[in-house]
Amino acid sequence: MVNSSQFPYFVLAAYLDMGYLKYFYFVVVLLLYIVIVVSNALLIVTICMKSSLHEPMYVFLCSLLVNELYGSAGLFPFLLLQITSDTHTVSRSMCFLQIYCLHTYASVEFCNLAVMSYDRYLAICCPLHYKARLTSNKVALLIALTWLYSFLKFLITLCLNLSLTLCGNVIDVLYCQNYHVVKLACSDTTVNNIYGLFGTFLTILVPLIPILFSYSKILRVCLVGSKETRQKAVSTCTPHLASLINFSFGCCFEIFQSRFNMSSVPRILRIVLSLYFGIIQSLFNPIIYGLRLSKIRQMCKDQIFCKKL
């Protein structure tokens, strides 16, 4: 049995010899990262600075946008470094740190979207009790639970994986992924696989229950409610639904990439699908919320052009 200490680094085999094109790819990825940081940060600053936006809906949105910055920080600097590198290696500790960052990002994203769906349910179905049921303390508690639940849940997975004995260090990916590292193990992975499935179950099911509950209630109110109620539901739920569907697609692509043999899929398509999970959602959320929510859109314009509200 080969001891894992003989592999202080992992080799990322998915990178091709790009030649001088690597500088073009570097600029493209860097511009994407700048757009993500600026757009998400602009909305966060706008929400924090404008007291009229200190409502549960926008506070939850702020938590979602902070998570986009967190997830992007775990991916983009790494991609930029690998694009310009000739060896495409990553240290063992940095690889596990990236795995932890990206997995907690996904869990926080789902939990944030679940809390936001509950917020929309209260606003549409229980408008008279909205402020009483979503006080500032309850909002802070929900956000704290969203982040703590995700960070603690995957900490167990990380500890289990760190104890594995690895028989190889070559993974055919662009960035570190948990399942690809576990597949390199030559020690018993039964506990890892069981908890991995249990963790995936928790990551998906726990947020899915309030999402399905909230939208079933919203749909029923829309069917029997007035035209004004339906318009309010469409205007406030469309960005959330679009974000939820987009992120679900990204997670599905990520699962297919890691769990199934994708050798029959063109390499360039596999690269695009693997990056979809970490890039598109961070670009999508500030755009969809900035465009669809008129209150935020107007205040962002005032923020950019330094208008006094």
Q: What DSSP line would sit under 11-26, residue for residue?
A: EETT----TTHHHHHH
Tokens of 43: 């909305």
pLDDT digits (tens, 9 = 90+) for 209-263: 999 999 999 988 888 877 777 887 888 888 889 999 999 888 888 877 777 766 6
Helices (H), 171-309: 178-182, 190-224, 227-259, 267-292, 294-304
The greatest distance separating any two alpha carbons of the chain, rounded to the nearest whole angstrom, comes to: 69
Please report the pLDDT score of residue 295 as a whole number: 64
Question: What phi, psi does 167 have (nearest 5°)?
Answer: -110, 15
Please report the pLDDT score of residue 72 as a whole number: 95
Whether the predicted pLDDT of 139 surpasses 70: yes
Q: How many helices (H) and strands (E) does the chain have?
A: 10, 3
* Cα–Cα distance for residue pair 248/254, rounded to 1 Å: 10
Continuous segment of H or E residues that includes residue 171: strand 170-171
pLDDT digits (tens, 9 = 90+) for 273-298: 888 888 999 999 998 887 666 666 66
The number of beta carbons lying within 10 Å of the beta carbon of residue 302 is 14
Domains and CATH numbers, the chain: 11-304 (1.20.1070.10)
Per-residue confidence band for 22, with pLDDT thresholds at 50, 70 and 90: confident
pLDDT digits (tens, 9 = 90+) for 147-156: 999 999 899 8
What mean pLDDT value characterizes the chain?
Answer: 86
pLDDT digits (tens, 9 = 90+) for 3-18: 444 678 899 988 877 7
The fraction of the chain above a pLDDT of 90, given in percent, is 39
pLDDT digits (tens, 9 = 90+) for 89-129: 999 999 999 999 999 999 999 999 999 999 999 988 888 88
Residues forming beta bridges with residue 10, ordered by sequence position:
90
Question: What phi, psi does 255 have (nearest 5°)?
Answer: -65, -45
Question: Cβ(149)–Cβ(109) under 8 Å?
Answer: no
The number of beta carbons lying within 10 Å of the beta carbon of residue 292 is 16
Tokens of 304: 């950019």
Tokens of 293: 């929510």
CA-closest candidate to residue 18, choices 254, 263, 271? 271
Please report the pLDDT score of residue 183 as a whole number: 86
Query: Where do we find the tokens 């297919």?
Result: 256
The structure's pTM equals 0.89
Please report the pLDDT score of residue 2 as a whole number: 43
Mean pLDDT to the nearest integer, 31-53: 90
The fraction of the chain above a pLDDT of 70, given in percent, is 91
